[in-house]
Amino acid sequence: MTDMTSSVQSTFQRPAQARRDIGIKKRYAAERRFKAYGVTAILIGLFFLFVLLWTVVSKGYTAFQQTAITLPIEFSEQIIDPKNERAANPAKLMSANYPLLVRDALVKALAIDPNNKALVKKATDMVSPSARTQLRDLVVANPAIIGTTADVALLAEGNIDSANKGQIDLTVAEANRKVNDQQLGWMKTLTESGAMAKQFNTGLFTYGASSRPEAAGIGVAALGSFYMMLIVLVLALPIGVCASIYLEEFAPKNRLTDLIEVNINNLAAVPSIVYGLLGLSIFINFAGMPRSAALVGGLVLTLMTLPTIIIATRAALKAVPPSIRAAALGLGASKMQTIFHHVLPLAMPGVLTGTIIGLAHALGETAPLLLIGMVAFVVDYPGTPMDPSTALPVQIYMWANEAERAFVERTSGAIMVLLIFLVVMNLGAILLRRRFERRW
């Protein structure tokens, strides 16, 4: 056996062997080259992803902490309600001179001469003006507090907060600095006495828009985004799934349906700002819906998400093997029964994945919302989708335009929150696909 093979080989060896060697070497080299290109491409991608995340996180992680000054506030009846009218007229409590309480507490804590106006001004500047509403809310919620003294954690002013986090360059001359030496000295005293401390910034998640960074948060914008996502889900999922089922399973294949298919694919690629213009002219100018409302935003995002969902659903329906359809039809199931009992359940992971990716896309969309007036300074939570509201990415866009140092970190902090939402949604899509993937 061995002899035979070797003799056969020796007859044909030389020409064939020589040619084969060159070919194999070339092919392997090409393969290695291609692998190297692929690895390089992925490394470049990873590098930029890392740079992006690094920039955002390094700038933004401090946004999740906020400096607070805890002062023993004396809720003096003389200042809040000197004429004792609160029983007859509770509105009196709304307009009381709360900043005075803060001033008195500061004067006492820092041992300043109350008559030195300039010094007192410097001291009160360290506390956020939002302390006024903070104290007011405390008193209105519990009028019994009047006449007592309680420790209240007041938000530090934005620049003080930045200085406390070490974000303000202290080598700059005092006159050009946002925080003066006197205030720095007090900060040191307060920190040493334990009155000034950094705490977790719950306000970032609960507050609405504010021109003061320490009192600004993404709570209102997040609620607006939530309303819009709800509207998109409720409208786009059923409309998209129905449209795709009709187009894929029932519609005759002719020029008209071809045209529709081409148009759907085109719509998926239309710049999102065009959808904003469409929403502006149809929903606001023609249908007379309110500006800056989450309802309009949701409708616009629905239009934008529909093509994505339709394309994903059609692909998922197409991927269901024809043998399953044949089996159901062969048993005497009607077309509807075949689709709803067998095809759609098998296509569901694909449909859900497409929907979640469409939703994630809509969640991060800014441009169309600018055109329908959702770029708004909204302080209060929108009670319904008809109320003025804004959205997370729009809030980021607005903060990015602010000058204060403290807004820079908040911008990055909000981006981190948005990214976390997107990652969670995409993870959900992957898990759903894994969970419902079926063999056939």
Q: Contact positions toward another protein, by CB under 8 A?
A: 252-253, 321, 323-334, 337, 341-342, 346, 438-440
Question: How far, in Å, CA of 385 to CA of 302, rounded?
Answer: 14
* Residue placing its CB nearer to another protein in the complex, 83 or 255: 255
Query: Could you please report the per-residue DSSP string of 58-119?
Result: HHHGGGGEEEEEEEEEE--HHHH-TT--TTT-GGGGGGS-HHHHHHHHHHHHHT--TT-HHH
CA distances in angstroms from 407 to 158, 204, 207, 213, 369, listed in the order given:
9, 11, 14, 6, 22
Least separation in angstroms between CB 317 and another protein: 15
- Closest separation between CB of residue 246 and another protein, Å? 15
Nearer to another protein, 226 or 436 (CB): 436
Instruction: With residue 266 as reference, give the H or E element that holds it.
Output: helix 255-269
> Whole-number minimum distance, CB 42 to another protein, in Å?
35
Return the DSSP state at 285.
I
> 12 or 440: whose CB is closer to another protein?
440
CB 338 to another protein: min, Å? 10
Nearer to another protein, 112 or 324 (CB): 324
CA–CA gap between residue 126 and residue 69 (Å, rounded): 9
Quick one: which of 173, 102, 194 has its CA closest to 139? Answer: 102
Which of 93/329 has CB closer to another protein?
329
Residue 34 DSSP code: H
Based on CB atoms, which residue is closest to another protein, 14 or 439?
439
- As measured in angstroms, the least distance from the Cβ of 328 to another protein is 8
CB of 345 to another protein, least distance (A): 9
User: Strand 65-74 and strand 149-155: pairing?
Assistant: antiparallel
Instruction: Provide, rounded to whole angstroms, the least separation between the CB of residue 357 and another protein.
Output: 24
For 180-211, give one letter per residue: b (16+ CB within 10 A) or e: eebbbebbeebeeeebbebeebebbeebbbbe
Euclidean distance between the first and final Cα of the chain, in Å? 46
In this complex, which beta carbon is closest to another protein, that of residue 211 or of residue 334? 334
Spatial distance between the Cα atoms of 113 and 158, rounded to a whole number of angstroms: 25
Q: Based on CB atoms, which residue is closest to another protein, 41 or 327?
A: 327
Q: Are 372 and 283 in contact (CB under 8 A)?
A: yes
Give the nearest distance from C-beta 382 to another protein in angstroms. Answer: 45
